[in-house]
Structure 1
Amino acid sequence: MSDLQTRQDLIPGLPEELAMECLIRVPFQFHSSVKSVCRTWRTLVSDKSFNKERQRFSKAESLLCLVQPLTSPPSPMIDAGEKKKEEEEEEGESHQQQQPRVTGTPLYGLSVYNATLDTWHRIVIPEQIPLFCECVAIQDAGKVLLLGGWDPETLQPVKDVFVLDFFAGVWKRGKPMSAARSFFACASVGSTKVYVAGGHDDQKNALRTAEVYDVERDEWLMLPPMEEGRDECHGFSTGKDFGFCVLSGYGTETQGQFRSDAEVYDPVMNSWSVIENVWPFQDLSPRGRTAGGESAGEIRGCKLWCFIDSERQSEPRWEVEDGSMKWKVVMETVRLPVTTMTSVFAGSLSGQAVAMIGGGGEESGTMMTTADKNGGKGKWSHVNTPPGFSSLPFSYSSIYV
């Protein structure tokens, strides 16, 4: 049977084009049900081209994926464990879910806010994910990765890599990183790769090491080490130039004193360069306070948002370059609707600023977003946040499906 004949049979009596237009309009939360109708629909909906069609017709949904402590039993709308279970049974493998042995250790889960439909759900995962793992999305591959963090039983850094294929609805373990690390910088670069650098080891030593993961090949490649060890650093893509920027962090002997500089990895030269005076807040971590990763114009680099409390003093914008004037970082401040006494985790989603509020007060336990796409300079508005999803996340990523 030809491909055309297969497509014409998607919905009996309808031409291929109309059948496709009907299916791409099905909300993402029902895709698992669509896949169960028949093998043809499962193959179609699981393919990357189906997501491209949804984007072409402006039917793709914007999802914000949050790694956050679980405050209530999961209420899943996507079961990524069922197909994983079937695959394990076919291969004669079995993975039993282990319970944490450390009293009082919080469990972490992957929550998803659908900004298009204004809904929340939690992804079902066949095993416990590490505490403080990093979350990064690769849009073209339709995948979200959870990397590193702490083992929930031993509270030691791990090398673990979990890969969720949003199109197929399947979880799997990827090849582990070469080094166990947590609180490190990471970012997706290009259509298939994720860079990681820095963080700390099991002795709380700040790491200089860096590596890159190819999600399609399931392979890691070591990179040259950074010039400085950087714990609690934050990572960004430099956009079309495929570079990787590692912002701030602190050294082993200066814990809690955040560096003002950044390092940028150049994939062409296979080397790092330092950009001075990027981060002006020695007492403030860039994690949960910076977002972006856009191109900074003709000069290669990235444009970032710097989220600051309403009472903190800061320049509205600053630009810095490395010594060769090859890489540039442009920072624009976004005023959060909170005081310095309130805990917050901020980021971006579909060009809008997003902030999760904690630390008490009437705004605590809610998520807010700006009403426009102008770097959070518009009016902030509340997002309906159910109690089970109101804890501050550790990391996040966003993806269109």
Structure 2
Amino acid sequence: MNHPSSSSPSSTTLTESNPQNQTLTLIPGLPYDLSALILAFLPYPYHQKLKSICKSWKHFFSSRFLHSIRHKHIPNSRLSHLLCIFPQDPSVSSPYIFDPKNLAWCNLPLMPCNPHVYGLCNFASVAHNSHLYVLGGSLFDTRSFPLDRPSPSRSSYRYDFVDQKWVCLPPMLSPRGSFACVAIPNTDRIVVAGGGSRHTMFGAAGSRMSSVEMYDIGRNEWVALDGLPRFRAGCVGFMAGNGEGHDEFWVMGGYGESRTILGVFPVDEYYRDAAVMRFDSDGVGKWHAVGDMWEEGERRQLGRIAVVEDVNGGYPEIFMLDKNDIFRYNMTSNRWFNETTLPKRVLDESAVGFVALNGELHVMASHNGAGSVENRRLRRHKRSTSLYLQIYHPGKRTWRTLITTPPFQQPLDFKTTVMCTIRF
């Protein structure tokens, strides 16, 4: 079918950029370029279902042309901010994408499976452009001894949302799980720091490490950087910038050495400080320490962290969920200040998810899980796997709630669930 010509600049650009599709029909009665622009604005979680409408839609929603349209016509601030959820080992349980604005879900393909390893947990997931990375973790290896002890992993995988497939990347220089990980904005670099062989089944067992390395996406290689000032595992990492090209990699919390109670039971020694490394046009700087962020007895360890990005490229806002309270971090005073309290208390604060999406803080709990919300009406849905979200807007200081039903049957265990966000 031949389409009527159009004199609009956007129409000409779209058609010329994808000439092989000039004879396809996406929406009857509309030019291809206009139809493509309309379909490109549909939320990502619906794309898989939309492919079954017809062959032309299947071709369009599987093409790079779709992503080029979104990249050109949708500013970064308006891109869909989606949540990637890994309920379990991604090689045996599908990861999922959640769109909080449209309450839409979709699943991703399984990650490539290694027949010798199983039970992957404590890995890191991070997004960069239209790619999703899964790095390291703790797992069991049938080739190692003893079989009942976890081993750290060096594996690196990348999922391409355009090609819709997983690719195995060069392994990290050092195997690690429970580590800090972040993608450096406006660069093709990912940094990992600290970690060890920690596994959810074994309290304070496992090793600790201080090594730091960086993945150069363009060169497809890992490069060693200066190590942390001391061993640090179970830590969290984030980037902070000042809008002038000076970015800082922060590594907070975590644990180092462990002590024993009665000489038998191992207990982690949690850190109250942070370490910072600067990245700028001159290269990578040295680590410098940031002192204790709270007094002795104020809290045992760092809570769950969520980072609200500054759309202007400045320093982000750092929030911590500590039991039923949310605290805001002040970099100047190096202290946490109470921001707000959850409207609905949770029974088990360790079984609650905490993440920043679209400038808002999302506190997530399963209706019937250990972190269920104290609400009698919700208790009637005992068999439900729905998620109850309490959402806080730091700028407006307002709360709202929503309920969504994930496509999987088992409730999420946020003690082991791995999450990250991606703008798509």
TM-score of the aligned structures, taking structure 2 as reference length: 0.70
**Partner of residue 39, structure 2:** 23
1:123-168 C-alpha deviation (Å, 9 max, x unpaired): 2214348322111111xx2111111112354531101111111122
Q: Distance in 2 between matches of 1:361 and 1:178?
A: 40
Q: Distance in 2 between matches of 1:334 and 1:160?
A: 39
Q: Which moved more, 1:208-217 or 1:370-379?
A: 370-379
One of 157, 173, 177 as aligned partner of 2:168? 173
| Higher RCO (C-alpha under 8 Å, 6+ residues apart) | 1
**Partner of residue 262, structure 1:** 274
Q: CA deviation at 1:233?
A: 0.4
One-letter amino acid matched to 2:289: V
The 8 Å contact of residues 352 and 370 in structure 1, kept in 2 or not, is answered as no
**Partner of residue 384, structure 1:** 404
SS class of match (1:163): strand
**Partner of residue 251, structure 1:** 256
**Partner of residue 151, structure 2:** 156
Count of residues in correspondence between the two structures: 354
Distance 1:378 1:366, change over 3 A: farther
One of 43, 55, 67 as aligned partner of 2:74? 55
SS class of match (1:65): strand
Q: Which moved more, 1:242-251 or 1:198-207?
A: 198-207
Q: Distance in 1 between matches of 2:213 and 2:335?
A: 22
Q: Distance in 1 between matches of 2:60 and 2:43?
A: 15
The 8 Å contact of residues 305 and 321 in structure 2, kept in 1 or not, is answered as yes
Q: Distance in 1 between matches of 2:133 and 2:390?
A: 27
Alignment of 1:2-401 (within 5 A): 3=17, 5-6=19-20, 8-9=22-23, 11=25, 14-15=30-31, 17-32=33-48, 33=51, 37=56, 41=60, 44-45=63-64, 48-53=67-72, 55-56=74-75, 60-69=79-88, 109-128=94-113, 130-138=120-128, 141-154=129-142, 155-191=150-186, 192-201=188-197, 204-239=206-241, 240=243, 241-253=246-258, 255-268=267-280, 269-278=284-293, 282-286=299-303, 289-292=304-307, 294=309, 302-310=316-324, 317-321=328-332, 333-336=339-342, 337-339=344-346, 341-342=348-349, 343-357=351-365, 358-359=369-370, 361-362=372-373, 366-371=386-391, 373-374=393-394, 377-386=397-406, 388=409, 390-393=411-414, 394-401=417-424
One-letter amino acid matched to 2:206: K
Q: Which runs of 5+ in 1 are unaligned?
A: 75-96, 98-106, 323-327
The 8 Å contact of residues 370 and 376 in structure 1, kept in 2 or not, is answered as no
Q: Which moved more, 1:115-124 or 1:56-65?
A: 56-65
One-letter amino acid matched to 2:98: Y
Identity of aligned residues (%): 21
Q: Distance in 2 between matches of 1:131 and 1:170?
A: 21
Q: CA deviation at 1:65?
A: 0.5
Distance 1:167 1:279, change over 3 A: farther
Q: Distance in 1 between matches of 2:108 and 2:42?
A: 19
The 8 Å contact of residues 210 and 224 in structure 1, kept in 2 or not, is answered as yes
Q: Distance in 2 between matches of 1:297 and 1:121?
A: 31
**Partner of residue 7, structure 2:** none
1:23-47 C-alpha deviation (Å, 9 max, x unpaired): 3134424545289648973674366
Q: CA deviation at 1:178?
A: 0.5
One-letter amino acid matched to 1:186: C
The 8 Å contact of residues 353 and 369 in structure 1, kept in 2 or not, is answered as no
SS class of match (1:379): strand
One-letter amino acid matched to 1:264: V
Q: CA deviation at 1:186?
A: 0.6
Q: Which moved more, 1:246-255 or 1:160-169?
A: 246-255
TM-score of the aligned structures, taking structure 1 as reference length: 0.74
The 8 Å contact of residues 191 and 215 in structure 2, kept in 1 or not, is answered as yes
Q: CA deviation at 1:272?
A: 0.7
Q: CA RMSD in A?
A: 3.8
**Higher Rg of the two aligned structures:** 2
Distance 1:108 1:30, change over 3 A: closer
Q: Distance in 2 between matches of 1:258 and 1:207?
A: 14
One-letter amino acid matched to 1:24: A
Q: Which runs of 5+ in 2 are unaligned?
A: 1-14, 143-149, 199-204, 260-266, 380-384
Distance 1:279 1:21, change over 3 A: farther
